[in-house]
Amino acid sequence: MAPVDMMQETEYIIRLGPSDRYRHKHVREKGRVFSFRVQYETRMGGEWFPIVRYDTAHGFAHRDLFRRDGSVTKTPIFVADYNDALTFAENDLKSNWESYKARFSGGSEWITRGC
């Protein structure tokens, strides 16, 4: 049996529609979220593009909104801990991906290329 204090990584993809997906990755240690990245992506012209990403890169939980010009708007998530931030991010993307897609598809401010 593995020691309780080992880090445990979880990663998966959920198809939301024919050209939409939710990518999820998180690492837990002792039952607490150590880091995470969850992202809504859409496929255009055979290529996947990130629309919204929540992660803990740069040492804090935040949301990245990608724009057509390649710029990214980074907004901190003000919650108690990474567990709560991950729950918030999951709920937002799973509940609102269609709204994000509509803005992406129709709004000139949203990206057409991403990382």
Q: Please write the tens of the pLDDT for every residue from 27-62.
A: 999 989 999 999 999 998 898 989 999 999 988 999
Both tokens of 88, joined, read 């918030």
- pLDDT tens digits, 10-29: 999 999 999 999 999 999 99
Angle at 44 between CA 85 and CA 104, to 5 degrees: 50
Query: CB–CB of 62/53 below 8 Å?
Result: no
What pTM did the predictor assign?
A: 0.83
- pLDDT tens digits, 74-113: 999 999 899 999 999 999 999 999 988 887 776 544 444 4
Whole-angstrom distance, CA of residue 113 vs CA of residue 71: 10
Whole-angstrom distance, CA of residue 5 vs CA of residue 27: 12
